[in-house]
Structure 1
Amino acid sequence: MNVSIEIKEKDNIFYVQLTGEIDAYTAPRVKEKLMEAAKGDSVKLNIDLSNVSYMDSTGLGVFVGVFKQLRANNGYMELTGMTERLQRLFDITGLADVMNINTEVEGRV
């Protein structure tokens, strides 16, 4: 399956809607788009994962990379709309303890 990436900017916050699967095949494209949005100082990303049906370790690596870039430049990332399955993946890896995760879908534009 493919992934669709929709990014909208409003009030200096980038709202990202991901749909589909994030795996070894689609992760490079997701990473490219998110890293592009995360460029600059104090960038804020709100990433909605409610329509992500599958994510593997490659996908997790994308979020770690974006998180590190944002953090280095005083940016902020919030993951929203995470399914129980994805939440468990972030919990098991310990990423839920470091990243801001909101299980509700908020801030859609």
Structure 2
Amino acid sequence: MNLNIDVKQPEERYSVMTLVGEVDAFTAPKLKEELLPLTQAEEAVVEVDLAAVNYMDSTGLGIFISALKSAKEYGATLKLTHMQERVYRLFKITGLTEIIDIDTSVKEGGS
């Protein structure tokens, strides 16, 4: 499976990244390459829509941890939204729900 990444910037310093596919060891470098620069703008707000991500492994979690560290370093905000239940469980099990801003309106199901 591949990962499609779409970034829109409806306002200055506000980006919405929509991911479609799987976030794993194969696709994570592409995600990191596109996500980290968005978090490196002073006071930026970066929202990542995960509605169409039905699989993520630990490599993907690592990317989001890196993005969170980068955001904090630059005074930016990182928010993850619309997670499917199986992806949310991964964040919950690892305790990342306590440190990353996650929109709790979790999408049910997903295949």
Structures share fold, TM-score greater than 0.5: yes
Q: Is the 1:83–1:103 contact (alpha carbons within 8 Å) kept by the matching residues of 2?
A: no
Q: SS of the residue aligned with 1:16? A: strand
Partner of 1:19: 20
Please, which runs of 5 or more residues in structure 2 have no aligned partner? Answer: 107-111
Identity rate, percent: 41
Aligned-partner Cα distance in 1 for 2:102–2:41? 22
Number of positions where the alignment pairs a residue of Structure 1 with one of Structure 2: 105
Q: SS of the residue aligned with 1:4? A: strand
Amino acid in the other structure paired with 1:71: K
Q: SS of the residue aligned with 1:82? A: coil
Please, which runs of 5 or more residues in structure 1 have no aligned partner? Answer: none
Aligned-partner Cα distance in 1 for 2:50–2:104? 9
Amino acid in the other structure paired with 1:55: M
Mapping 1:43-62, distance limit 5 Å: 43-62=44-63
Q: Is the 2:39–2:74 contact (alpha carbons within 8 Å) kept by the matching residues of 1?
A: no
Q: SS of the residue aligned with 1:41? A: coil
Q: Is the 1:22–1:52 contact (alpha carbons within 8 Å) kept by the matching residues of 2?
A: yes
Partner of 1:8: 8
- Offset of 1:104 from its aligned partner? 3.4
Q: SS of the residue aligned with 1:19? A: strand
Q: Does 1:30 align with 2:63?
A: no
TM-score (norm 2): 0.90
Aligned-partner Cα distance in 1 for 2:2–2:37? 20
Q: Is the 2:39–2:77 contact (alpha carbons within 8 Å) kept by the matching residues of 1?
A: no
Q: Give the 4+ runs in structure 1 shifted more than 3 A.
A: none
- Offset of 1:67 from its aligned partner? 0.5
Aligned-partner Cα distance in 1 for 2:39–2:102? 17
